[in-house]
A and B are shown apart, each in its own frame.
Chain A
């Protein structure tokens, strides 16, 4: 049971109030029609599954209903920081930081 700081509410809240959405920083390609099937497939389906630091998109579903980014350790479950969509967070040499959040992980069905 995580204790998560919602960057919009500016409060720590119980994990019960949140949903994990998936890997963060996967912006929708600006011109989908120009992409090959393989490129589109990579965008749709391929995700990182690191042991260690990971960037995830979460939503304060039973709270402010805002989506935000979580930098956390998938091994220790430590949360390093949470930050708003559109913001970046540099935790050192981290190539994932940057870009915006992503809607992609919330797929149909």
Chain B
């Protein structure tokens, strides 16, 4: 540990007193492998400046040295990578926002081999002409084949950090809030808004991006109600924090303002505590806020002035210089030149001189500034150069001088002798840009104000109020007043009407009443035109220059949105917070338009970058998406089942034994089922309980086939179509009682079918009395299939299972292994089969009882793959596999399931009778037998009639299902073939991607037991 003296020596820019830092809490950190010291209360940026670190990065395109320019969220240059370990790597961290903690490890995101000796900068200087605006489009697109080579080079050269290669070690979470008034920003206006809304009885949420409340007061020398500003802030914060109806969030950036006053806040809960979050807390939290009304008190960002070489380290915003001096006791240089077009920058000069450093001059672009601050500067004997501008900075890795010259009244050209002023720091102010971003997120366009020299929030239909500098209001008194009024109006809009309790507006002694009007300056002239002068940077992060913007307008880009995309103005992670307005003004000037005419680009969420972690919250790993398990899942696991995902369900695909392959396992499962008895867990099938006086009529309307005569105890296959006449779902529906049915749907279609029934009942036929209830999860369903299934079931039930009393397509209530059950004699295999339904909690017990009794019969569990093969052997379709949303029942040769004589025009009837659906040459479902019994026909393979036809060949259909049938000892397939039903016995050909040609014969898709003897046994 260094002693106090060494600490001071190292931090050459740190003042001995002042600032809101804790000098008794020194902190060490690593910047680019260099150990540096700072204090608790520092940001990473203030600590770097205290240590005299000038270069913190290299620029995106030209690889120029860049230093810290601002003290806040608008920072374009000081983008660092943090993280002491691989799993805590975080790119894109603004040094101005990151609080310092002991052991912080950070490094610049670009520059090779280091930011101080950068090889790329040579290329940047040589390649300047290469890198004109639109350089991606122009230079690197030729030859086109080389783009991928260029791209890698460009990405390595630029980049803004890297992703971690290990999973994030920390937790993240989400929190919901429902409040009357959401206040964004805890500066003077926001604090007053929160306080006045709270005193009026509203529930208030106040969020601010900084570690401390106060906003601009953090670095002002104003007093409010006779107290130093930050003491007043402390009093207000104390009252707010003591109130039960106020929640205050620090280090919390409101990143999105969505419809109906829904806001998202990204709270950095522990980023200031260490490399990892403490074990008991999440690293970051996303707050989702629904507010009755919203007060935006987001303040303003100072605009830099654009001049030649304005990107040299040492060029800063004037207010940021004050910020570092007042809040962190850091003076970021020794000799200062201030350039300003308004009164606010004078404060930086006063703070600088009071810190004991040398002020070289204040350069004011205005001819005759006469405000209170100018008079004070004169009284204090400061060098004031008016009607002039700093047109160029000199220096290599840091400012070493400033070229100053008189300019004309419109600030469009240089009018006199040049003077070189030696200095190492340049502080500029071109005025203030209201932070209107959030006000734009729901589509409202900001409006240019000539009076305020900035874009101010446009109109909105939301209950939204704005207070303070976001309105272009710069006087502290007025900000306080606007805050009080906005808070009161917001509370009133959220129904807390007690206007008699409107609080008194605190008075400040800011002395800002005597203000000299600001002058609009967006580009400082040079002796040379911008195209030939040293680079004048508008957008530092994307290396967009004034010359580049002018060139884009010369090349014909006139819309601000197009200029933005062509030059990349405002495209960086800072979204052009410092550069946009200057850039738009340069466009307007080049086009001979006003800023109001040019307008601004659209600000979209998020206001600042947010981490993937905070967006995901706790919804990761198993919590990312629900998984659904059948009641027999544990058994399947224990048996080593291989699972497949069917929607959210986990279904056994097959049950391998020993070191069996999948192909071997499903052959064994098929043969065991066809020759003995197999069992399938069918619990995932959708089940909808339908009851009501009109249930039967309803079924007749939504199914294509007839339901009027289905008796209790009977089951029927049903086919469901959309209004377009295309097959939507199918399944067996059983009549439980006269007005009570159980519908089954496909596993994947269950939710959709339920919605489908509900919408027709509610919106079209509300007169039908019918009720639906999803019972999918209520029942465990197991299907035993094969010639021995009756014998097996007979050992566990007293029910008469004879074909005479319990026939095919009947269902019976019975007790199986002592468990109450519904047994459905339906078959998806074409074999004798019983589908047993028991309450879900009995599922595993019955399954195990079946296996106990089944040992004598060689009961074999089979999965979905065997199920698919067995059903294909019978030509049973799977909706979504053999159909694709363009198949009518007739196309599937399911005309037998369409009852055109029903009185009601059922859903799908009109659609399937459109002239196009009645063509006889539509693709129709057929079976295929390959000439070579083992030839593999891939699903999706396209059919042609003439294999000799030159490419492009005429395609007449495609394979929908293809399997190896163990029972038949050959491959079988189903396909849809044009006019297929009329072409039985004809050959079709399948030219495959590898050049192979497969020949097949069209046949009936029922490959096994066409008479249906087995299933009716």
Contacts and interface: CB of A to CB of B under 8 A. Distances in A.
A100 B442 contact: no
Contacts of A2: 259-260
Contact of A76 (B443, B723, B916): B443
Given A76-B443, A108-B726, A109-B726, A103 B260 contact: no
B764 A27 contact: yes
A9 interface: no
B440 to A, nearest CB: 13
B909 interface: yes
A48 interface: no
A11 interface: no
Interface in B374-420: none
B604 to A, nearest CB: 15
Contact of B914 (A27, A40, A77, A79): A40
Interface string B905-934: 100011101111000000000000000000
A57 B259 CA distance: 19
A3 interface: yes
Interface string A19-56: 00100000110011101010011001000000000000
Nearest to A76: B461
Contacts, number: 93
A3 B291 CA distance: 10
B785 interface: no
A81 interface: no
Interface stretch (B512-520, B738-746, B754-762, B800-808): B754-762
B722 A108 contact: yes
A14 B290 contact: yes
A100 B763 CA distance: 7
A31 B905 contact: yes
Interface string B242-269: 0000000000000000111110000000
A97 interface: no
A1 B468 CA distance: 27
A77 B260 contact: yes
A106 B756 contact: yes
Interface string B760-789: 101110100000000000000000000000
A67 B758 contact: yes
B339 interface: no
Contacts of B763: 57, 67, 85, 100-103
Contact of B260 (A3, A37, A67, A108): A3
Interface string B290-312: 10000000000000000000000
Contact of B909 (A33, A41, A75): A33
A32 B759 contact: no
B265 to A, nearest CB: 14
B760 A77 contact: no
Interface residues of B, number: 36
A6 B261 CA distance: 18
B722 A109 contact: yes
A107 B259 contact: no
A90 B724 CA distance: 32
Contacts of B443: 75-77
Contacts of A14: 290
B728 A108 contact: yes
B721 interface: yes
Contact of A103 (B258, B721, B760, B909): B760
B909 A32 contact: yes
A104 to B, nearest CB: 6
Contacts of B722: 107-109
Nearest to A41: B914
B885 interface: yes
Contacts of A28: 723, 764
A86 interface: yes
A102 B728 contact: no
Q: Which of A3, A41, A78, A108 has the most CB of B within 10 A?
A: A108
Contacts of A44: 723-724, 911
Contacts of A73: 461
A67 B909 CA distance: 25
- Report whether over half of chain A's contact residues are helix, strand or loop; otherwise say mixed: loop
A59 to B, nearest CB: 7
Nearest to A75: B443
Interface in B721-741: 721-724, 726-729
B396 to A, nearest CB: 51
B911 A3 contact: no
A95 to B, nearest CB: 20
A33 B885 contact: no
Contacts of A66: 762
Contacts of A107: 722-724
Contacts of A101: 762-763
A1 B755 contact: no
Given A14-B290, A40-B910, A108-B726, A102 B262 contact: no
Interface in B409-465: 442-443, 461
A32 B910 CA distance: 6
Q: Which of B442, B723, B885, B911 has the most CB of A within 10 A?
A: B723
B910 A33 contact: yes
A59 B755 contact: yes
A3 B909 contact: no
Contacts of B726: 108-109
Interface in A62-86: 65-67, 73, 75-79, 85-86
Contacts of A65: 758
A61 interface: yes
Nearest to A78: B461
A67 B766 CA distance: 12
A75 to B, nearest CB: 7
A100 to B, nearest CB: 6
A108 to B, nearest CB: 3
Nearest to B916: A37
Contacts of B762: 66-67, 85, 101
Contacts of A33: 905, 909-910, 913
B264 to A, nearest CB: 9
Given A21-B759, A31-B905, A77 B259 contact: yes
Contacts of B721: 108
Contacts of A40: 910-911, 914
A33 B39 CA distance: 82
B196 to A, nearest CB: 25
A57 B758 CA distance: 13
Nearest to A61: B755
Interface in B209-264: 258-262
A95 B442 CA distance: 28
Contact of A104 (B258, B723, B909, B915): B723
Nearest to B753: A108
A85 B766 contact: yes
Nearest to B758: A65
Contacts of B442: 76-77
Contacts of B910: 32-33, 35, 40
A2 to B, nearest CB: 5
B731 to A, nearest CB: 14
Interface of A: 1-3, 14, 21, 27-28, 31-33, 35, 37, 40-41, 44, 57, 59, 61, 65-67, 73, 75-79, 85-86, 100-104, 106-109
23 contacts: A2-B260, A3-B262, A3-B290, A14-B290, A21-B759, A31-B905, A32-B905, A33-B913, A40-B910, A40-B911, A41-B914, A44-B911, A59-B758, A67-B758, A76-B443, A76-B461, A100-B763, A100-B764, A106-B756, A108-B720, A108-B727, A108-B756, A108-B885
Given A76-B443, A77-B442, A103-B759, 11 more contacts: A1-B259, A37-B916, A67-B763, A85-B766, A102-B764, A103-B760, A104-B723, A106-B756, A108-B726, A108-B756, A109-B728
Would you list the 10 A-B pairs with minimal beta carbon distance, nearest first? Answer: A108-B722, A108-B728, A32-B910, A101-B763, A1-B262, A3-B260, A109-B885, A103-B759, A77-B259, A76-B461
Interface of B: 258-262, 290, 442-443, 461, 720-724, 726-729, 755-756, 758-760, 762-764, 766, 885, 905, 909-911, 913-916
